[in-house]
Amino acid sequence: MPEMYFSDAIRAALDEALTRDASVVLMGEDIGPYGGAFGITRGLHEKYGPERIIETPISENGFVGVAVGAAMTGLRPVVEIMFMDFILLAADQIINHAAKLHYIYDGQVKVPLVIRAPAGAGRGYGASHSQNLENVFLSVAGLKIVCPATPADAKGLLAAAIRDPNPVLFIEPKALYGARGEVPEGDYTVPLGVARLAREGKDLSIITYGACVPLALAAAGELSEGGLEADVLDLRTLKPMDLTALEATVAKTGRCIVLEEGPLTGGIGAEVSARIGERCFRALKAGVQRVAAQDTPIPSATPLEHAVLPSVAALLAAADRLFE
């Protein structure tokens, strides 16, 4: 398989979806000739034209609302939110419309909508351009949430999300856009709702997703040098969550760390920890440890940004606590 950047894998999935299905359209700010804020849609406007690569005004609530209506009437819109931080401007359209209309109309309409949201820190963009807001949407009934960690999954999960009849929030960790990896060519999908065991171990489990998967693998490598072997479970889909895979890794190791880039309080890790407590309590040999960003706005200055975000050192410290 050829190697590809994470960002190019997303573009490949969009390109193939546009070719395969005439109902797929892209919408967003500066996604035309400019190619998007992160270059994801570069070249697609020239290939497919302005009727399918639709540039929008700077009005997230407006163009997400248009996309919801387009999805209801037979199109498959893929909307780009320039930074995930701006998604809150379209919260009503996502939470009360996209996620609910199928149920309000007794299944007579579907909303096959994908919302792409570049998320996360690591680039010095500051407090209002570096957030992970997936926890805000986790409780929204009717909405699926996906976050890939590898180029192959970026392509395969996005392809599956575009074909899904339900609205999908597709989170793209900005820190991974430059990551490289093997990506299958041609028509390739990864099923939603299925986790991936990124590394196998027997002593503890690190449960994570997105940009934190490479962090977990780095920490697992260091733990291995000290004689501890860690499972690294990449959730891939946050909703619906693969509870079978979650139970399997905890049952095997009995000790687990839940890792995320978002804030500790009210985060994805809180939900995962609660699920573990409900379903795997008797298998636990120690209390679940959580590693996440501090409960503070993300600073712009690189040293301060690094101090706020989760780290390998924080993971190693959490592992120590598991064996006290």
Beta carbons of 106 and 198 less than 8 angstroms apart: no
- Which candidate in 16, 80, 129, 305 is catalytic? 129
The sign of the dihedral angle between the CA atoms of 39, 45, 47, 51 is: positive
Distance CA 209, CA 236 (A): 6
In the set 60, 80, 172, 305, the catalytic residue is 60
How far from the centroid of its chain's Cα atoms is residue 181's Cα?
17
Name the DSSP letter for residue 83.
S
Which helix (H) or strand (E) element contains residue 208?
strand 204-208
The question of whether 305 is a catalytic residue gets the answer no
Q: Where are the alpha helices (DSSP H) in 239-281?
A: 243-253, 268-279
Let me know: does 265 contact 295? Beta carbons within 8 Å: yes
How do beta strands 230-234 and 196-199 pair? Answer: antiparallel
Bridge partners of residue 214, in order along the sequence = none
Q: Is 258 helix (H, G, I), strand (E, B) or coil?
A: strand
Which tokens is 9 given?
A: 């894998």
User: Is-catalytic flag, 45?
Assistant: no
Is the separation of the CB atoms in 78 and 162 below 8 Å?
yes
Write out the catalytic residue numbers: 60, 129
